Chains A and B, each alone.
Chain A
Amino acid sequence: MAGEVTAPDERPFVMLAMHMANELLTPGVAVGFIALSAAVLALASWQTRVRFDPARVPLMGVMGAFVFAAQMINFPVLPGTSGHLVGAVLLAILLGPHAATLVMASILIVQCLIFQDGGLLALGTNILNMGIIPCYLGYAVFVGVAGRQPRAGRLYAAVFVATMVGMVAGAAMVPLEVVLSGVAAVPLPQFLLIMIGLHLLVGLGEAIITFLVVGYLSKARPESLGLVGERLQPAGAGLSSGAVLASFLVVALLLGGVVSLFASQFPDALESRTSVEDAPGAAMVKPNENEIIVGVSELQERTAPLPDYKSTSFSGVVGTLITLSVVWLIGVSLRRRRQEPAEPARE
């Protein structure tokens, strides 16, 4: 599931996508990841050719279109915000990891070439983060947890864990790639925690909707779940509200952990600052009196958006939140504007 602000009858306006831009990468890192993704894709297409009935090749292409279309069916998350399926783990469960990776790669290429979501040179990282990792890792976890003929409870647990692990692991790659490039100077731990925290929430929605789709298909069209070699035969797929509650609880606990980890990043900075000011004699760190440094830090305090907070990680969090809300507001206003013009009449 990806968060977004949408108009009810328009193409979703994706807000929370994690498509990398070219400009956040250095040429070396970009080329490295393109080579890595290309190698995995070559492996995946070889495996697909070995395992897949050649008659299924059009099916794979049409599956890519299916994911695009399925992303148009949105469901409410917060007022004014709705989510849609991402689909990587669902595809991996339905088609197997090799074919699913190819389909996701083709989706990401089309998103890049037609919708300009993510740069041309960033395709390597994007295919890795949103295709290869969720598909392979998600599938491995799913098979590991679900076993042969899972009942509803176990199926839900498998989908839940697989989606979470796949999406969070993919999202966690973004900070690593950004820091590896070193274009944007972002502290790794904080960025990592933000991405993981956000994608725990995204993963929860994705897990529920993935399970509901798998459940629907196992009832309405059980043979469609057997496209991969091993046949998946879930026995009944009603979702008990207890299972959903339990997964909310798990996510809340995980989020709590992330938030407290995050919190532990900055109080020491704040405290040490105040203690030095309270007792100047006991200062461990001597203030640097160098002219340039003093000048720069004054300038910095004047230009900083949140000059009161000396702790950079705290102002970083606040700054990010402010940016996010500004972006969100822009999205909402775009949505309002988009709602007004009626769809042109069809001839």
Chain B
Amino acid sequence: MHHHYIDRFAYQDSPIHRLDPRAKILGVLAYSVVLISLGRHELPAAWYAVFPAILLLWGGIPLWFVAKHTLIVSPFVVCLVVFSAIFDAEPVRVGASLTVRGGWVTASTVMIRFILGMAALIALASTTRFPELLKGLENLGVPRLLVTQLRFLYRYLFLLADQAMHLRQARRARDGGRGPLRWRWRSSAGLIGVLFVRTLEQAERTHLAMIARGYDGTIRLTRPLRFQDADWLFLAATAAYLILLRGGHALRGLAGV
């Protein structure tokens, strides 16, 4: 298992990739808040797709990748939304003359917003290298201990995943993926135990190696974060866009009264 398996697109280069992680985190966060602040019978206008679309297209992230990832994480939301559509029979007026079951309106708006929100999150994750994303989170006030923790997790994720795959492969070579259920459960537990012991030893070695290199609790990036003009521009444009989106609703509401 290699780094490019999940976040290979983060190592491309584009104007979006070059933005400061803090700007992107704040932008995506604000966009998500605006998305979920819509009412449950309120469908997002087409303009809502502009933000993720710009990030993804300009960042050079293929849309099939976004679609695949969204599909993979969608089952829970889909189940809930269908469940809700069946129970919510409240009539809701859509447009001038059409009246529909409220549940279906909720289902469609939640699904559309889910897809948009996922697209924005994927845009953030696949245009920002994870170590820089963490640096951004740290500078935005996420506690040091948690960030350090995340950093170690990321660093060792691929190493231990490799080990897990080796263990699994070795078992497969021995049992051919067959055998009584009881035996397979016991062997899975054994593999997890072995992995745990190896993890402990790995952590010990890592710690010694880090102390030997002068680790004092902070990790220094070779590229320190700097907020540049482009980042301010991005934040300002995002803020203006979101205010227009929400403000547009409010204005139309006033006009309706």
Q: Which residues of A contact B (CB under 8 A)?
A: 8-9, 11, 13-27, 30, 41-42, 45, 48-49, 55, 57-66, 68-70, 72-76, 85, 94, 102-103, 105-107, 109-110, 112-121, 178, 182-187, 191, 208-209, 212-213, 215-217, 220-221, 224, 292, 295-296, 299-300, 303-306, 312-313, 315-316, 319-320, 323-324, 327, 330-331
A13 with B72: in contact, given A63-B199, A296-B91 (CB under 8 Å)? yes
B199 lies within 8 A of A66 (CB): yes
Interchain CA distance A331-B74 in the complex, whole Å: 11
CB-nearest residue of chain A to B103:
A185
Question: Which of chain B's residues have a CB closer than 8 A to the CB of A61?
Answer: 148-153, 155-156, 203
- CB B8 to nearest CB in A, in angstroms, measures 12
Nearest CB in chain A: distance from B161 CB, A: 5
Interface residues of B in 13-44 (CB under 8 A from A): 28-29, 32-33, 35-37, 40
User: How far, in whole Å, are A28 and B89 apart by their CA atoms in the complex?
Assistant: 25
Task: Give the complex CA separation of A295 and B98 in angstroms.
Answer: 12
- Note all chain A residues with C-beta closer than 8 A to B106: 183-185
A338 to chain B, nearest CB (A): 11
Closest 3 CB pairs of A and B: A61-B152, A212-B189, A216-B193
Least CB distance, A70 to chain B, in whole angstroms: 5
B184 interface residue per 8 A CB criterion: yes
B193 to chain A: which residues have CB within 8 Å?
Answer: 212-213, 216-217, 220-221
Interchain Cβ contacts within 8 Å, total number: 289
Beyond the given pairs A75-B188, A184-B106, 8 more chain A to chain B contacts, judged by CB atoms under 8 angstroms and listed by A's residue number, are A65-B156, A65-B199, A70-B192, A185-B102, A185-B106, A221-B197, A296-B89, A299-B91
With a cutoff of 8 Å between Cβ atoms, the chain B residues found around residue A292 in the complex are: 91
Q: Is the CB of A300 within 8 A of B149?
A: no
CA–CA, A312 to B85, complex, Å? Answer: 11
Given the known interface contacts A65-B160, A110-B154, A115-B73, the answer about A45 and B146 at a Cβ–Cβ threshold of 8 Å is: yes
Give CA–CA (A58, B71) in the complex, Å. Answer: 35
Query: Out of A21, A42, A65, A208, which one reaches B152, CB within 8 Å?
Result: A65
A66 to B163, CA, bound (A): 10
* CB atoms of A58 and B185 under 8 A apart: no
Does A69 contact B80, Cβ atoms closer than 8 Å?
no
**Contact in complex: B189, A116 (CB < 8 Å):** no
Find residues 151-199 in chain B having any chain A CB closer than 8 Å to their own CB.
151-157, 159-161, 163-165, 167-169, 172, 177, 181, 184-186, 188-197, 199
Expressed in whole angstroms, the Cα–Cα distance for A27 and B37 within the complex equals 6
With both beta carbons as reference points, the residue of chain B lying nearest to A111 in the complex is identified as B73
* B185/A75 in contact, CB under 8 A: yes
Can you report 28 A-B residue pairs in the complex whose CB atoms are below 8 A from each other? A9-B165, A13-B72, A17-B76, A21-B76, A21-B117, A25-B36, A62-B199, A64-B156, A65-B156, A66-B195, A70-B196, A72-B165, A73-B168, A75-B188, A102-B149, A114-B6, A116-B118, A121-B32, A184-B83, A187-B87, A217-B193, A224-B196, A296-B99, A299-B99, A312-B86, A319-B83, A319-B86, A320-B79
State the Cβ distance, A23 to closest chain B Cβ, in Å.
4
Q: Please indicate the chain B residues that have their CB under 8 angstroms from the CB of A55 in the complex.
A: 207
Q: Per a CB cutoff under 8 Å, which of B28, B117, B168 touches A72?
A: B168
Chain B residues within 8 Å of A, Cβ to Cβ: 5-7, 28-29, 32-33, 35-37, 40, 69-73, 75-84, 86-91, 99-104, 106, 110, 113-114, 117-118, 121-122, 124-125, 130, 133, 143, 145-146, 148-157, 159-161, 163-165, 167-169, 172, 177, 181, 184-186, 188-197, 199-200, 202-204, 206-207, 210
Alpha-carbon distance between A41 and B144 when the two chains are bound, in angstroms: 12
Q: Which chain A residue has the least Cβ–Cβ distance from B91?
A: A296
Q: Are A76 and B184 in contact (CB under 8 A)?
A: yes
Q: Give the residue of A42, A63, A113, A115 whose beta carbon is less than 8 angstroms from that of B143.
A: A42
Q: Is the CB of A45 within 8 A of B143?
A: yes
Tell me if A316 and B83 are in contact (CB < 8 A). Answer: yes
Q: Are A59 and B203 in contact (CB under 8 A)?
A: yes
Q: B196 contacts which chain A residues (CB < 8 A)? A: 66, 70, 94, 213, 217, 224
Which residues does chain A contribute within 8 Å of B5, judged by CB atoms? 11
